[in-house]
A and B are shown apart, each in its own frame.
Chain A
Amino acid sequence: MSLEIKNLNVNIGEKQILRDFSLEVPAGQVHAIMGPNGTGKSTLAKALAGHEDYEISGGEALLDGENVVGMEPDEIARLGLFVAFQYPVEIPGVTIANFIRAALQARLPEGEKIVATDYYKTLRAYMDELKIDRAFSARNVNEGFSGGEKKRCEILQMKMLDPKYVIMDETDSGLDIDALKIVAEGVNNMRSPDRGFLVITHYQRLLDYIVPDVVHIMWDGRIVKTGDKNLALEMEEKGYDWVKEELATAGA
């Protein structure tokens, strides 16, 4: 069981962003990706989620063996992939409660309906756990939320939808230290042998709270270095120039 990405090539318009990108996150593990701005981390997340602007010109993305390349975003999500976005979108006129409910409803077989009381009970419990004011459930999705509130709301959705594989795209950016701990705890509670996480971040700090099994360094559209959690520490210390130099020597 794993999320396996094999030789993925992704273009935006004429520009190639991901180049033969390969990575495997087995269920039960947490992998982290670090890499400079513009290297294609969010592109990876959105391409895997099925965003139509990201053209996949080659390669595979296997969710427990099933290739999701070419599928509609909703199909991929229902198969069990969840992306916590770097920039969550504001949806005017749609409340958090109705939104998550519609997402859960979409996972039920034809003719079955969400039981409202159970639903609200679960929703409230997770909101309490993530220290999100219950009144937020009646607010429009992300509309007027602070950066940190948006990120917490992504994690709330993740918990409600109970996915098999999670990609978190800079969920830590914009969180204060208390919020970071809350979110990390929320994620840690979900770690299980059946679930895999791919955590994109710029900061080693997050990885103190969500301790990764594997750390990857991404550069120019592909993984260039892989190691254990100490790699993140090393990265933070030496900066990306170090990777650049290593690459140059390797290439020479």
Chain B
Amino acid sequence: MSVATTTSDTEKFSEENFRHHLDAFWLNVPWVQELKQQNWKTYQELPLPTRSDERYRFSDLRKLKLDGYRPAQEPTEAQKADAIARSNLVGEPAGKVVFGDNFLLEFEGLSEELKAKGVIWMPLQQAAIEHPELVQKYFLEEENQLGSEKLLALHNAFFHGGSFLYVPKGVEIEQPIAAYYWSIECGEAIFPHTLLVVEDNAKVDFVDYYGSLDTGCCSTLSCGVGTIYAGQGAQVFRKIVQNFNEEALSFQLEANIADRDSQVKTIAVNLGSKYARLQNHTRIVGPGADVKMYGLTVSKDEQEFDQRTLQIHEAPHAVSDLLFKNALLDSSRTIFSGLIKVAKDAQQTDAYQTNRNLLLSKTAEANSLPGLEIEANDVKCSHGATTGQVDESELFYLMARGIPRQTAYQLLVFGFFEEIVEKISNEELRENVRKLVQAKFGNEM
């Protein structure tokens, strides 16, 4: 089965393509149609980010061009089979879904036991039809202040893949759930979407993988959205692995909402794309919440990784801790811009933000813009950024045991990331992340 969803003579995000999209995927879902209409309008009205936008400080806006990309079409059978075969990052997942160019290719739902407990996990499109009230309550409710309004509107106008998870009170899912999003056809755009609603005292571990079937020079656009609602005492662990090819343009807009005593942990592994922007907008709304945000980035060649984070404390006695580590090769660039905001009533907040950059080339460039905005008077907050090279005394120590310089160097670079990699509890995923990181270095060192 192959349904053409765009007319072949148009590229780009045109009115015609948009109409086509609504008819092809959302014909009988008026509330989504309406939402998409609004967003389509917003998308057209908004300008692309400009130099003067502080939220794009240091970004190379020349890389940020949407011309030439169009909504994706259904992959061929061979491509589908390839994508499914390569979706194997996680050992024994509780559930697994695979999308290729937005199309659902494979879905292994959760166990009957979990379903009986009221857990809902399904493709977003299906959830919008079967559970409209539940989805509507959370869907796109979180505002995004980090500067990708236009991209978000584009996402909203054109998404049709993605998955929705609802975990009722007290239900714990031990094994990770994995979602794979493959970019397949050159010049096409995908819109991954993950919406996790985790009720009080429930627990979940969720992994998103983003990759390109074509590892060569095929340029694609990805504009993904991920949102976590962590209820009181909920435990949510979310990992994203962005491994598109080096021609891709990628935006990942993440939002976390943490309620009382919840534990939210996110890890973003950033490896692919020519320009990859990761936004993480975290809002702590209940006292006692504990949010950890980790980032691991390997940039090489001419890649640019643009990371913007916001830790908002609205409630007292909560902790947020951010650690983003970047290793830079060649003439690549990274930008880390993070802000901690503590509201007046959020007393006894502990908020930390650390960005560490390991420069492995003289022509690489790491930019850091840490910031604090604190209105409460009884808080512990710190932010810090360091940029440095491999430590000479560490290198000497390893070599003094007979380890050749190159191997010693690699051990130290991989060691730099271990602090983050070791946080991944699923052993197979942890090992696969190590391999992906090592593969990225290839023969560079």
A and B: partners? yes
A49 within 8 A of B: yes
Which of chain B's residues 372-416 have a Cβ closer than 8 Å to chain A?
A: 393-394, 396-405, 407-408, 411-412, 414-416
Q: Which residues of B contact A90 (CB under 8 A)?
A: 394
Our pick among A77, A93, A100 for the contact of B399 (Cβ within 8 Å) is A77
Q: Which residues of B contact A102 (CB under 8 A)?
A: 398, 403, 407-408, 411
Contacts A99-B401, A99-B411, A103-B402 given; indicate if A91 touches B396 (C-beta within 8 A). no
B428 within 8 A of A: no
| B412–A94 CB distance below 8 A | yes
| A91–B402 CB distance below 8 A | no
| A161–B401 CB distance below 8 A | yes
Q: How far is the CA of A93 from the CA of B397 in the complex (A)?
A: 14
A106 within 8 A of B: yes
Contacts A98-B411, A99-B411, A106-B407 given; indicate if A72 touches B402 (C-beta within 8 A). no
Q: How far is the CA of A74 from the CA of B407 in the complex (A)?
A: 11
| A74–B403 CB distance below 8 A | yes
Nearest CB of B to A165, in Å: 13
Q: Which residues of B contact A50 (CB under 8 A)?
A: 399-400
Q: Which residues of B contact A209 (CB under 8 A)?
A: none
Q: How far is the CA of A103 from the CA of B398 in the complex (A)?
A: 8
| A93–B402 CB distance below 8 A | no
| A92–B411 CB distance below 8 A | no
Q: How far is the CA of A73 from the CA of B415 in the complex (A)?
A: 21
| B416–A103 CB distance below 8 A | no
| B415–A77 CB distance below 8 A | no
A171 within 8 A of B: no
Our pick among B400, B407, B415 for the contact of A92 (Cβ within 8 Å) is B415
Q: How far is the CA of A192 from the CA of B130 in the complex (A)?
A: 78
Contacts A74-B404, A106-B404 given; indicate if A91 touches B399 (C-beta within 8 A). no
Q: How far is the CA of A50 from the CA of B412 in the complex (A)?
A: 19
Q: How far is the CA of A100 from the CA of B400 in the complex (A)?
A: 12
| A93–B414 CB distance below 8 A | yes
Q: Which residues of B contact A181 (CB under 8 A)?
A: none
| A92–B416 CB distance below 8 A | yes
| B419–A89 CB distance below 8 A | no
| A93–B400 CB distance below 8 A | no
Greatest chain B CB density within 10 A among A76, A77, A161 is at A77
- Nearest opposing residue in chain A for B414, CB measure: A93
| B407–A83 CB distance below 8 A | no
A225 within 8 A of B: no
Our pick among B397, B402, B403, B404 for the contact of A85 (Cβ within 8 Å) is B397
Contacts A94-B411, A94-B412 given; indicate if A103 touches B393 (C-beta within 8 A). no
Contact with B along A77-105 (1 / 0, CB 8 A): 11000110100111111100011101100
| B398–A99 CB distance below 8 A | yes
Nearest CB of B to A176, in Å: 25
In the complex, the number of residue pairs spanning A and B with C-beta atoms less than 8 Å apart equals 84
Q: How far is the CA of A89 from the CA of B414 in the complex (A)?
A: 17
Q: How far is the CA of A142 from the CA of B393 in the complex (A)?
A: 13
Contacts A102-B407, A157-B401 given; indicate if A91 touches B419 (C-beta within 8 A). no
| B404–A77 CB distance below 8 A | no
Q: Which residues of B contact A88 (CB under 8 A)?
A: 397
Our pick among A77, A94, A107, A141 for the contact of B400 (Cβ within 8 Å) is A77
A124 within 8 A of B: no
A6 within 8 A of B: no
Which of chain A's residues 131-151 have a Cβ closer than 8 Å to chain B?
A: 140-141
Contacts A99-B401, A102-B403 given; indicate if A73 touches B418 (C-beta within 8 A). no
A51 within 8 A of B: yes
Greatest chain A CB density within 10 A among B402, B404, B408 is at B402
| A161–B402 CB distance below 8 A | yes
| A106–B403 CB distance below 8 A | yes
- Nearest opposing residue in chain B for A76, CB measure: B400
| B403–A91 CB distance below 8 A | no
Q: Which residues of B contact A85 (CB under 8 A)?
A: 397, 400
Contact with A along B331-375 (1 / 0, CB 8 A): 000000000000000000000000000000000000000000000
Greatest chain A CB density within 10 A among B397, B407, B416 is at B397
Q: How far is the CA of A99 from the CA of B408 in the complex (A)?
A: 9
- What are 16 A-B interface contacts by the 8 Å CB criterion? A49-B396, A49-B400, A51-B400, A52-B396, A72-B405, A78-B402, A85-B397, A89-B394, A89-B396, A89-B397, A91-B397, A91-B412, A93-B418, A103-B403, A106-B403, A140-B418
Interface, chain B (partner A; CB < 8 A): 393-394, 396-405, 407-408, 411-412, 414-419
12 more contacts with CB within 8 A, not counting A74-B401, A77-B402, A141-B397, are: A49-B396, A52-B396, A73-B399, A77-B400, A89-B396, A91-B397, A91-B415, A93-B412, A102-B411, A103-B401, A106-B407, A161-B402
Nearest 9 CB-CB pairings of A with B: A93-B415, A93-B418, A77-B402, A73-B399, A89-B397, A103-B401, A94-B415, A74-B399, A78-B402
